[in-house]
A and B are shown apart, each in its own frame.
Chain A
Amino acid sequence: MLCGVKFCGGCNPRYERGKALAAVKEHFGENLRFAYAEEGRRYDLLLYIAGCANRCTALGAYPTDRGIVSLWDEESIREVCARMEELLRG
């Protein structure tokens, strides 16, 4: 399974988004591959990491088979991982 990773532009992020991605990757270990999302490419899942609750990035150019999971604060990392697992199980 391949998870696309899309960051917002990071104008004024409220937490370290790179560290949050590292935590998600650590959670999944080798059970899920991650790649920075490219426009027009289809992914099994898209992880959208926004710097704040505004989540201003348009995600229409990133098609997925199983959906998009959004993260916008570091307190939600475990919850986001759980949601990703749920989607991956189908």
Chain B
Amino acid sequence: MALMTGSQYIESLRKLGTKVYLFGEKIDNWVDHPMIRPSINCVAITYDLAHDPEHSDLMTATSNLTGKKVNRFAHLHQSTEDLRNKVKMQRLLGQKTASCFQRCVGMDAFNAVYSTTYETDEKYGTQYHENFKKYLAYVQENDLTVDGAMTDPKGDRGLAPNKQTDPDLFMHIVEKRADGIVVRGAKAHQTGSINSHEHLIMPTIAMTEADKDYAVSFACPSDAEGLFMIYGRQSCDTRKMEDGADIDVGNKQFGGQEALVVFDNVFIPNDRIFLCGEWDFAGMLVERFAGYHRQSYGGCKVGVGDALIGAAALIADYNGAQKASHVKDKLIEMTHLNETLYCCGIACSAEGYPTKAGNYQIDLLLANVCKQNVTRFPYEIVRLAEDIAGGLVVTMPSAQDFRSKEKVPTGSGLTIGEWCNKFFQGVASVPTENRQRLMRFIENLCLGSSAVGYRTESMHGAGSPQAQRIMIARQGNIEGKKALAKKLAGIKD
């Protein structure tokens, strides 16, 4: 099958029997649901741009498995150039959508599982790497979107998986059969899970032998028997359900998506299993996936930042404040922060290296530094955007008020719409509606539904800040730095 277009991707979702619950009810036509569709549009653009001559160079790559052209989201990185191109592609998509486009988790999982299965087989003589290569060739051939799913609900954070009161709080094997395994548990915060054709499951933490039933990695279709999803709420999400939802939504076309994915005794055939009890490789898989995903944020969040910086600069124009020196300086600061994140994404890619399996891994220290910065800088960029835009971001009346023909019984005889348009005008040459649209766009990114992706996902996605600090401590080579200091200070002991 050739690379799908966005429309073909959307039609392919309709053919799935994915079970989706929202507001306590099963949603049969979730593809056209107004709260879900913007997130589907985001994934669709990853397909459309692969056909666009202005972007295909980043959006596609040549598969090392088949020699065919594939979407880069299904590609195994073959060089540091591939790693850099991944980050560049993510920046591009962030710019195009100002949202989380969801397909990165699958790409990062492919690369982590590919190299980890190789090394697991090397130690245990298992067949996981061959299983995975066949699976990925199938994904590439059919141009599928796959949710790389790692985060378990985790229950009591102070307890290991095998010590939890409820064993389902970590994904685990409940039965081993001759033809496969049965698994039970859930994956939380799953970005783009509903929009994915398949799920690729990985363990959530490093494990001990006592947790070996929890050391499991596998793939299954999103509509597998026993699998269902409960949609995650987002700030201001029901604005998308309002009649004629447009301006007040802020970003009508695009958005992100997270869900709880529940596995209620799901059967996994042997050829889709990539880890099954080899507990000492759970940590490697987690570390590699997290490393790739921490690199990813040095691309995607930068692209979204580009859109927000643009909006802040534009609203300054609309407000007539563009010449103020402090506004110019704030735009410089926003750009400096955003490009610093990009520097980190490019740096950890440029310093990448081949794994034993042959695909390329990022520099772990630099990727963790990248993500640590991402847990902070978007918050400051948002703060500066709100500063430049002004309080109207959160106090402006609804779009219905601006359109209202209701006459107010006062002397002027103006309608509510006329009053709104009169008093919310900025620079006279700019239509009030343009100012209104831009304020809502900024609101959406700073504290509306897209803030899920730009703020809190920046904090906790790919691991919370402390997870990066642990990795920075491990990789920081403090002993080497002590030796440098001793030598320079003339200390001999």
Chain A interface (Cβ < 8 Å from any Cβ of B): 5-12, 17-18, 36, 56-58
Contact = CB atoms under 8 A, between A and B. Distances in A.
Interface residues of B, number: 16
B53 A9 contact: no
Contacts of B173: none
A10 B306 contact: no
Contacts, number: 42
* B-side interface mostly: helix
A62 to B, nearest CB: 11
B301 interface: no
Given A12-B91, A12-B95, A12-B306, A7 B85 contact: no
B53 A11 contact: no
B98 interface: no
A12 B89 CA distance: 9
Nearest to B342: A12
B85 A9 contact: yes
Contact of A9 (B58, B95, B306): B58
A11 B306 contact: no
* A-side interface mostly: loop
Given A56-B84, A58-B81, 8 more contacts: A7-B54, A7-B56, A8-B58, A9-B89, A9-B92, A12-B91, A12-B306, A56-B88
19 contacts: A5-B53, A6-B57, A7-B54, A7-B55, A8-B57, A9-B55, A9-B56, A9-B59, A9-B85, A10-B55, A11-B58, A11-B91, A11-B92, A12-B91, A18-B54, A36-B53, A56-B81, A56-B84, A56-B85
A11 B306 CA distance: 11
Contact of A10 (B54, B81, B84): B54
B283 to A, nearest CB: 33
A60 B55 CA distance: 18
Contacts of B91: 11-12
Contacts of A56: 81, 84-85, 88
Interface string B295-333: 000000000001000000000000000000000000000
A8 B306 CA distance: 19
Contacts of A7: 53-57
B57 A57 contact: yes
Given A9-B92, A10-B92, A17 B58 contact: no
Nearest to B84: A56
Contacts of A18: 54
A7 B49 CA distance: 13
B54 to A, nearest CB: 5
A12 B91 CA distance: 7
A57 B57 CA distance: 7
A74 B210 CA distance: 63
